[in-house]
Amino acid sequence: MLRLMDARDLRIFEAVARLGGMNRAAAELHTVQSNVTARVRLLEEEIGTPLFRRHSRGVTLTEAGRRLLPYAARTQRLFEDARRAVRDDGSPKGSLTIGSLETTAALRLSAQLSAYVAAYPEVDLVLRTGTSSELVKDVLEYRLDGAFVCGPVEHADLEQRLAFREELAILTAPTVRSLDELFGKRQVKIAVLRAGCSYRQRLEDLLTRRGIVETRLLEFGTIEAILACVGAGLGVTLLPKSLIGMATRNNHVAAHRLPKAEALVDTIFIRRRDAFMSSALAAFLRRVCPAPARAEAATQSI
């Protein structure tokens, strides 16, 4: 039954399922709608069951189509990895898309990326920032070759290695002399990045452990905006100490130390276990986080 099914059939099926219509799939695949429709019908005949429900707005997957979709997507990725492997002669080149926390990009990666780009001019490097949850999702869905996120991350499909270790501090307005003043309040406003930010979750957990039962969110899109908010006395935040040196030196904010068990956090680099390791990515890892040990193993050795 599946003998005649080929990669082109599955590619067309995946495009139609993802885009929700034959016309849209045809446009993406640079072909005509009649060809897409014919290939989908042939695939349905070979399998012996409908894969789509047709309606005026396009198509939706049947139960059988939903079961087939992950296999089609996996097949496309396998063929793409095969093409990349054949073309990879060991010299770093081609595209490399890396994700990073905004704090990691600001603190750790600027010099590293500059040196990497200078050493490997044939690599087209793209850096995308996001929250840990966003970056993990993008790695799992193959949109990123790898990403720097806040550890630990527990997922069977991901391999991880320790990249950096940061010490976190609570930041307040300069008028707050100690954390006792903060922890004595019933309600605290926290200045944070959008949902999914690992530092945001850590701050909420830390305050809950100290009996602060109510937090109000002040959500911002950049670290600079958060620091300005904290300096103005509108809220508190939690960030790596190394990020805030200039702000504390200028007395814009006050940094309050935490117990080591709460202060230390690992930034790990994650990638899919089943994804092709290009020469460009291998060279990147050798420069940025060469230690082969996994983050969890490194943490246990402290």
Is residue 5 very low, low, confident or very high in pLDDT (cuts 50, 70, 90)?
low
Residue 25 lies in a domain: yes
Q: Indicate the residue among 87, 119, 151 that finishes a domain.
A: 87
Residue 282 lies in a domain: yes
Could you read off the pLDDT of 232-270 as tens digits, one per residue? 889 899 988 877 765 566 668 888 989 988 899 899 999
C-alpha distance from residue 76 to each of 65, 121, 146, 188 (Å) = 16, 29, 19, 49
Structurally, the chain folds into a number of domains equal to 3
Verify that 159 and 269 share a domain, yes or no: yes
Q: What range defines the domain where residue 254 resides? A: 166-264
Mean pLDDT of 171-188: 83
* Helix (H) or strand (E) run with residue 11 in it: helix 7-19
Verify that 157 and 70 share a domain, yes or no: no
Verify that 115 and 190 share a domain, yes or no: no
- pLDDT, residue 87, reads 85
Residue 175 lies in a domain: yes
Q: Indicate the residue among 22, 57, 87 that finishes a domain.
A: 87
Is residue 1 very low, low, confident or very high in pLDDT (cuts 50, 70, 90)?
very low
Verify that 41 and 101 share a domain, yes or no: no
Contact at 8 Å (CB) between 267 and 250? Answer: no
Verify that 201 and 260 share a domain, yes or no: yes
Q: From 104, 107, 219, 220, select the one nearest 151 (Cα to Cα).
A: 104
Q: Give me the CATH number covering residue 191.
A: 3.40.190.10
Verify that 148 and 281 share a domain, yes or no: yes
Residue 181 lies in a domain: yes
Residue 1 lies in a domain: no
Residue 188 lies in a domain: yes
Q: Give me the CATH number covering residue 16.
A: 1.10.10.10
Cα 102 to Cα 242: distance, rounded to the nearest angstrom: 13
- pLDDT, residue 65, reads 93
Judge whether residue 156 has pLDDT over 60: yes
Q: Indicate the residue among 51, 67, 87 that finishes a domain.
A: 87
Find the DSSP H helices in 150-278: 179-183, 198-209, 223-231, 245-249, 260-263
Mean of the per-residue pLDDT values of the chain = 86
Verify that 192 and 250 share a domain, yes or no: yes
Model confidence, pTM: 0.73
- pLDDT, residue 129, reads 92
Residues linked to residue 171 through DSSP beta bridges, in sequence order: 237, 255
Could you read off the pLDDT of 210-232 as tens digits, one per residue? 888 778 888 888 888 888 898 88
Residue 2 lies in a domain: no
Could you read off the pLDDT of 56-88 as tens digits, one per residue? 888 999 999 999 998 888 888 888 888 888 888
Cα 273 to Cα 275: distance, rounded to the nearest angstrom: 6
Verify that 260 and 170 share a domain, yes or no: yes
Residue 106 lies in a domain: yes
- pLDDT, residue 295, reads 40
Judge whether residue 196 has pLDDT over 80: no
Judge whether residue 2 has pLDDT over 60: no
Verify that 158 and 174 share a domain, yes or no: no
Report the SS3 class of residue 97: strand
Verify that 106 and 252 share a domain, yes or no: no
Verify that 188 and 247 share a domain, yes or no: yes
Mean pLDDT of 131-140: 93
Verify that 144 and 292 share a domain, yes or no: yes
Could you read off the pLDDT of 80-123 as tens digits, one per residue? 888 888 888 899 999 999 999 988 888 889 889 999 999 999 99
Could you read off the pLDDT of 6-25 as tens digits, one per residue? 788 888 999 999 999 999 99
